[in-house]
Structures are given as C-alpha cells and as structure tokens.
Amino acid sequence: MPGDAPRVRFAPSPTGYFHVGSARTALYNWLVARQSGGTFVLRIEDTDAERNREEWVDGIISAMHWLSMDPDEGPYRQSLRTDRYHQAIDALWEGGFLYACDCTHDGVDLRNKEAGILTPGYDNFCRDRDLPRGDGRALRFRTPDEGITTVDDVIRGRVDFPCSAMDDFVAVKANGAPLFVLANVVDDIDMAITHVIRGEDLLPTTPKGVLAWEALLSLGWMTDGSTGAGRQLAPGLPVFAHLPMLVNEQRKKLSKRRDPVAVESYRDKGYLPGAFVNYLGLLGWSPPGEDEIFTIGQMAEWFRLEDVNHSPAFFDVAKLTHMNGEYIRALPLGAFIEACQPWLTGDRAPWLVTNFDEAAFAKLAPLVQERVAILSEVPHMVDFIFLDEPNIDEDSWAKAIAGDEVAGTILADALATFSELTDRWSRDALHAATSAVGERVGRKLGKAQAPIRVAVTGRRVGPPLFEALEVLGPERTLARVRTALGRIGATAGGERPS
Ligand code: GLU
C-alpha cells in the first residue's frame, strides 16, 4: 500500500551556507526514501526571521540539486504555516497541556538560588497559577512529574529521559510564536512523517517532541491534509534515527568558523557531485565489501539505517580530495573537458576569455586530467598558454632560477638549441634537445628542465614540459626564455658549454 511507504524529511533552518553535516543528513533521508519507494520531503524551517535569509534557502535547494537529491515533495516553508501552529497551540491549550507563564529568567534564577538549587531550570512557579493567555506571556508545556519518556532510536538504541529531569519547557514564545519543537512536531504530523532522521545534536530535544506528539494524538488531532501525505488521522510516533556528529582532525565538532563546511564552497572549488555524495555517504556508514567508491544508486541499494555507526565521523578533506581526483581520472576525456568549462571559459577563468583556445586545451587535457584532484586546479596547469605572459610564481623562480647558478647557462643554451628547432617543433625534438642541454651542464633531464619550466610556464609543477612547449609554440616559448634571461641579467644566446 502506498500509504505504508516511508515518508522522510529534511528540515534545514536556512541560517547559513549548506553545512556538510546537513548534506549528509539530507543524503541519508534521500537514501531511505529511494530504497523503499518512499517520499523525500523538503521542509524549510524558516521561522527565525532575523537569522534566515532567502539566499541560504536557494543555496540549500541548488546544492541538493547538484548532489542529485531533489526532494519529491516541498519545499514546504514553516513561515507560511503560522495559522496551523496556532491551531495546534489552541488545541493544546484547550486540552490543558499548556499554561501561561510570566516569569523572567532572572526571576527564576533568583528563586532557584534562594532555594539552594544549583542546577538551572524552571521551578514550575506558574504551573498552577491559572494565568490567562496573552499579555506577553509565554506558554509552557506541562511535562509529567514522573515516568520515563523513551526515544527508540535506530542508531543509538533505546534512550530514556526521566520526566523528573525534564522542565516544563516553553512551547510558545511571549510574542505568540511557536518554538522549534512545537512547529517541528506539528509539521511532522501533518506531513505524515514516518522516520525522523537528523543530527544527534537534536536528540536532547526529542523527548519534548515526543511529549508534544503524544499530546496532540491524545486530542484526536487530524492532519491538515495539505501536504500530499494523503491521510487525515495523525500518525503514531515516527521512527527516530539520530546521526553521528561530524568532527575534524582534532576530533572536535566541525565548526562553521574553523572548518571548511559549506557544500557550496566544494562545488565552487570543483569537486564533482558524484565524488562528493560518495564521500558524504561514508560519514557514518560503510558499504559491504572493501571498495569505497560507489554511485548514489548503489548506495541506495546497500544503505541500511540500522548499519549507521553512532561514533563521530571524521570529515577528512584530504580523503575527499583524493577521492575526487579518482573520480576526475575516471571521467571520459570529453566529460572532463566539459566539466572544466566554468574554469576555462567562464567567470572563473584567470585569462581573457577571448584568449582561450579550445584545441590547445584539448591537446593538454589528458595530461591535466591525470594531475588534478579538483577542477579549480586546472587553470593553474594551463594558464601559461592563455595568458600573454606567464604568471611567474616567485617561490618557483627563487628555487629553480635565482637559486641555481647554472640556470642562466641552461636557459641560454636552451634558447640557442630550441631556436634551431622552429621548423620541426615537437615534443620529441624538444625532449632530445633538453637532454642535450642537460648533458652539457652535467644535469639529468628532470633537473635541467626546471629553469626552462619556470621561465615558460611560471611554475615548477604543471603538465609534462615538452607537450606544454609543443602546444605553446616556438615563438612564445623562445620569447619567454629570452625574457627570463633578461631578468637574471644573463646574455641571451650566451656561450654554450662544450
Ligand atoms: N531545523 C532543524 C535544524 O536545522 C532540524 C530539525 C529536524 O531535522 O528535526 O537544526
């Protein structure tokens, strides 16, 4: 029956860039929906008008699309569902689950101090005062005094929260707006959510949600029927799964300020979506077998929520980058060239777009593909072709030219030797000529190439030199060697050692 298929949701609050931890949460929800014929709902929890921005919503939606995790339903927006929360608040008030409270933080703290209570918490001062609603009073949820609220979590097992340790929490702010826990539960019920899969930072609020959910059920609460869930009766409690947190190399929780956590930034640096989603999948789960490279489709086939690990998962950028390099190398050449386009012909190209030469790039592309881990490294590899002058990296210059006493001799010799090759300018001829230049100064080919590479390409690393020179052509190559010689004060066409 379609009504029995899982309905999962991803419910981000748009308060910043799309965090990798949120992307992992979205992915695991998406996987559960895909493997079971279920529905993946996107709900934007945008009730905090001060911290929410429309661009963050766009960021989430476009990054989910980039990762092939488009929702089946939604985006629903909490900011458009205020009336519904008020209906729930009215029902809970009528049912006696809420009471009005006019206490201030300071007032509660003072009373606790006077009573010798050291742990902060609400002292139930207003519980039986029967204050009316309104007049800037918050509404608190009356939690049971005894018993246990249990969260049955697929990943963590049974987690018990003794009710005696649970405060009568504020469910509705003094300005009448519902708090996260209430809006979240009303939505999950209306959207007939069967599995709540989210970060473990939300586990401590879960018992409050359970109490609110049970309260609404006990009131015969009906869904609003507006969300495609196709049911009227409020569903029973969902299955909970709280995903392990992500940590950095120091095993500290990933932080927005310290760590590179924005999915958008990985997209902008040229990580491939397939690689990124593959790596996200491994943050808390591993596939059967040894191979860690798999498609999102294979993941959907193999993934089981029960197999998710509860210990923190290390978000290892180096591993992600390495994996991305493998994905890049596995691309057919045409797809690689296509994927590079934003860095070659778009805003991100560091040269005049009219200088770009597709054929020249195509010649070097297979060599570049072997050498980059992320696509943003591509311009660096080939910019010497499309810039009028090479972008000289001063560190490379210092090491390979200024700090090498034979660099001038090598460059002068190369200038003379290469000048004789202009009508048979090829990789092989340049290779042989450079070997000869090296022999004349007692250098192996690799060492002899270094000053030439820096003079012509600006850097010590890049695609293989002779292919690069072949593509650049004799005129520009010789001019650059001459310029470098000028810079080090050596005489162009200097003596060739015998
Ligand atoms: N909006 C909450 C957050 O971004 C998540 C709520 C949930 O998944 O239940 O932290």
Domains of the chain by residue range: 7-77+244-317, 81-243, 331-386, 394-488
Distance, in Å, from the CA atom of 293 to the CA atom of 173, rounded to the nearest integer, reads 48
How many CB atoms are located within 10 Å of the residue 132 CB?
7
- C-alpha 110 to ligand 1 mean position (Å): 33
> DSSP state, 402?
I
For a mutational test of ligand 1's pocket, the pick from 29, 45, 179, 196, i.e. the residue with the most ligand atoms closer than 8 A to its C-beta, is 45
Q: Give the nearest ligand 1 atom to 198 CA.
A: 8
CA 18–ligand 1 middle distance (angstroms):
13
Question: Residue of the nearest CA to atom 7 in ligand 1?
Answer: 11
Q: What is the pLDDT of residues 476-485, one digit of tens each?
A: 999 999 999 9
**Which tens digits make up the pLDDT trace of 234-281?**
788 999 999 999 999 999 999 888 889 999 999 999 999 999 999 999
Q: pLDDT value at position 498? A: 44
- Ligand 1 centre distance from Cα of residue 198 (Å): 7
Per-residue pLDDT at 494:
45
Q: How many CB atoms lie within 10 A of CB 181?
A: 22
Counting ligand 1 atoms within 8 A of each CB, the residue from 10, 29, 180, 185 with the most, and so the one to mutate, is 180
Q: Which fold has domain 394-488?
A: Arc Repressor Mutant, subunit A (1.10.10)
Q: How far is the CA of 197 from the centre of ligand 1 (A)?
A: 10
Tens digit of pLDDT per residue, the chain (498 long)?
A: 345 799 999 999 999 999 999 999 999 999 999 999 999 999 999 988 888 889 999 999 999 999 999 999 999 999 999 999 999 999 999 999 999 999 999 999 999 899 888 777 899 999 999 999 999 999 999 999 999 999 999 999 999 999 988 999 999 999 999 999 999 999 999 999 999 999 999 999 999 999 999 999 999 998 887 776 666 777 889 999 999 999 999 999 998 888 899 999 999 999 999 999 999 999 999 999 889 999 999 999 999 999 999 999 999 999 999 999 999 999 999 999 999 999 999 888 999 999 999 999 999 999 999 999 999 999 999 999 999 999 999 999 999 999 999 999 999 999 999 999 999 999 999 999 999 999 999 999 999 999 999 999 999 999 999 999 999 999 999 999 999 999 998 443 444 444
Peptide bond into 132 cis (omega under 30): no
Atom of ligand 1 nearest to the CA of 209: 9
* Residue of 311, 263, 304 whose CA lies nearest to 286: 304
Protein residue closest via CA to atom 6 of ligand 1: 11
Give the whole-angstrom CA distance, residue 324 versus residue 314. 17
Q: Which atom of ligand 1 is nearest to the CA of 45?
A: 1
Quickly count: other Cβ atoms within 10 Å of residue 464's Cβ: 16
Query: 23 alpha carbon to ligand 1 midpoint, in Å?
Result: 12
> If one looks up domain 7-77+244-317 in CATH, what number appears?
3.40.50.620
Which atom, in ligand 1's list, is nearest to the CA of 12? 4
7-77+244-317 with 394-488: one CATH topology? no
What separation in Å is there between the alpha carbon of 13 and the centre of ligand 1?
Answer: 6
Which residues contact ligand 1 via a Cβ below 6 A?
A: 11-13, 45, 184, 198, 202
pLDDT tens digit sequence for 190-216: 999 999 999 999 999 999 999 999 999
| Tokens representing residue 323 in the block | 């994996």
Under a CB-based contact definition with an 8 Å cutoff, are residues 262 and 252 in contact? no
Query: Residue 279 and residue 323: Cα distance in Å, rounded?
Result: 8
Compute, in angstroms, the gap from residue 264 CA to the centroid of ligand 1: 19
Burial letters 29-41, b for 16+ CB under 10 A, else e: bbbbbbbeebbbb
Q: In what order do the strands lie in the sheet with 170-172?
A: 98-101, 138-141, 170-172
Instruction: Report the nearest atom of ligand 1 relative to the CA of 15.
Output: 4
Ligand 1 pocket: which of 7, 8, 10, 13 to mutate (most atoms within 8 A of CB): 13
Name the amino acid, one letter, at 95: G
From CA 154, how far away is CA 197, in angstroms rounded?
A: 9
Cβ–Cβ < 8 Å for 189, 237: no
In the structure encoding, which two tokens stand for residue 469, read together? 């020179």
Res 225: pLDDT:
78
CATH fold of 81-243, please? Rossmann fold (3.40.50)
Q: Is 208 a catalytic residue?
A: no
Which atom from ligand 1 is nearest to the alpha carbon of 22? Answer: 4
Distance 12 CA to ligand 1 centre (A): 5
**Looking at this protein, which amino acid is placed at residue 374?**
I
Q: Which of 173, 256, 319, 444 is catalytic?
A: 256
